[in-house]
Each structure stands twice: as structure tokens, then as C-alpha cells.
């Protein structure tokens, strides 16, 4: 696991964003862990989150021309990421959408830079992939190209079928998917923390039930 990924897990635990216990996911599954990026809710946390996102994007090597954050959680994410990338020497335009179309002033439902070129979508955790589909439609309607999506966590569990939601997004829309951390990273981290190793068995049991099929990349 990359150092910044381990540091991000430390950071998520510090803010109680990552918790272990007994929870119910949006899909109604009983989960032994929970991740709520909405708890990165002060200035310092948001700044650090943007820096972690920037590290993951730069490490991925993905090529893009602009950033897009879907309303509502994607708005602060894309803003802090644009700042973090600029501080690292990479200045990108960014935009986000409104839920309701504005009929006065500049009008429309896109705020910020015009959608043009290759667009990287920035979100927190994708559950059903609906917001991604809406973002892809908006971007293509502007004659731009959605080239990827960046999220904080890949839960690596089944979506609508045997593959994960992020794998389904990759297959359905033909775009790259980047995650800051995966469930594999969380399990690897737990093995380094004697005070947290007791949670590993419950996670492995959960994965046996809901873990996604690994796509065949041979040939």
C-alpha cells in the first residue's frame, strides 16, 4: 500500500469517517464497517482531503483537461482538489452542476469553467452509480468527453450483478475509475494495527457474501 493511502486511512479514522462495528449500507446490506466522507467537515480536513485526492490522481497518471464535481458532495471535493493540484503546480479549470436549472443571470445548470475536452469526475463514494450516469450525460451533452471518475473508497462489493459498482461504471461508460483507497487497503491496514485486527474476520465474512467478482483481464 502506498504511504499516502495508509496516511489517508489514519486520517479517516481520526475524523471518524471510517468506523468499524455494525452498520447497514444504502443497499440494505449489514456491513462491519462504514465510511462517511461528509464528516470531513472543517477547513483543515477539507484541505487535507483535497491533497490526498491530488496525490492519488497524480499517481494514477490519468490524462484530463478539466475537473467536474456532481452536486452536492462533489462541489466541495472538486473545489479543494483544484486548489491542491494548483499548489502542486497543475492548474486545471473546474465546474459543477446545479440540481435545478437557473433561469436568470448566466442561466443553465453548470457553474464554473465551460465543459470542454477530457473531463475527470470527482465524487466521494459511489453506491448505485446514478450520479455518475447523470454526470456523464451532462458532460457529453456539452460535447466534452468524460474520461474518468475519482472516488475516495472502492468497497469492492457487488453492484447490480457480480461485478462491483465501479467496475460496472467502467464497463457501462467506458471511463477510467480511480479510488483513493480500496477495501483491500483497509484490510492490509488492519493487519498493521493490533488494536484493530479483531475487525478483520467480520470484513472477510462480509466479503465472502458480497465481494465483487474480479474482472478477467487476460487476453
- Residue 195: which domain range? 3-210
Burial letters 11-32, b for 16+ CB under 10 A, else e: bbeebebbebeeeebeeeeebb
Classify residue 217: in a domain, yes or no: no
pTM of the predicted model as reported, rounded to 2 decimal places = 0.90
- pLDDT per position as a tens digit, 13-64: 999 999 999 999 877 889 999 999 999 999 999 999 999 999 999 999 999 9
**Interatomic CA distance for residues 131 and 154, integer angstroms:** 16
In the chain, the number of structural domains is 1
Which CATH number is 99's domain given? Answer: 3.40.50.2020
Classify residue 148: in a domain, yes or no: yes
Classify residue 113: in a domain, yes or no: yes
Classify residue 63: in a domain, yes or no: yes
Classify residue 86: in a domain, yes or no: yes
Classify residue 216: in a domain, yes or no: no
Hey, which residues are catalytic here?
102, 104
pLDDT at 109 (0 to 100): 85
Amino acid at each position: 500500500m502506498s504511504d499516502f493511502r495508509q496516511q489517508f486511512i489514519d486520517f479517516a479514522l481520526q475524523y471518524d469517517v471510517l468506523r468499524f462495528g455494525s452498520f447497514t449500507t444504502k443497499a440494505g446490506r449489514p456491513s462491519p464497517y462504514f465510511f462517511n466522507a461528509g464528516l470531513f467537515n472543517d477547513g483543515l480536513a477539507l484541505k487535507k482531503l483535497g491533497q490526498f485526492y491530488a496525490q492519488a490522481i497524480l499517481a494514477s497518471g490519468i490524462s484530463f483537461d478539466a475537473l467536474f464535481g456532481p452536486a452536492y458532495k462533489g462541489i466541495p471535493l472538486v473545489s479543494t482538489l483544484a486548489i491542491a493540484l494548483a499548489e502542486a503546480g497543475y492548474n486545471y479549470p473546474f465546474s459543477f452542476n446545479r440540481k435545478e436549472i437557473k433561469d436568470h443571470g448566466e442561466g443553465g445548470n453548470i457553474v464554473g469553467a465551460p465543459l470542454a475536452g477530457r473531463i475527470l469526475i470527482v465524487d466521494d463514494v459511489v453506491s448505485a452509480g446514478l450520479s455518475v450516469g447523470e454526470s456523464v450525460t451532462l458532460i457529453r451533452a456539452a460535447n466534452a468527453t468524460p474520461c474518468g471518475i475519482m472516488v475516495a473508497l472502492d468497497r469492492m462489493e457487488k453492484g447490480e450483478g457480480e461485478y462491483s459498482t465501479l467496475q460496472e461504471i467502467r464497463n457501462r461508460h467506458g471511463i477510467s475509475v480511480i479510488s483513493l483507497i480500496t477495501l483491500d487497503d483497509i484490510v492490509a491496514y488492519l493487519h498493521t494495527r493490533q488494536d484493530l485486527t479483531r475487525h478483520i474476520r467480520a470484513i472477510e465474512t462480509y466479503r465472502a457474501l458480497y465481494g465483487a467478482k474480479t474482472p478477467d483481464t487476460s487476453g
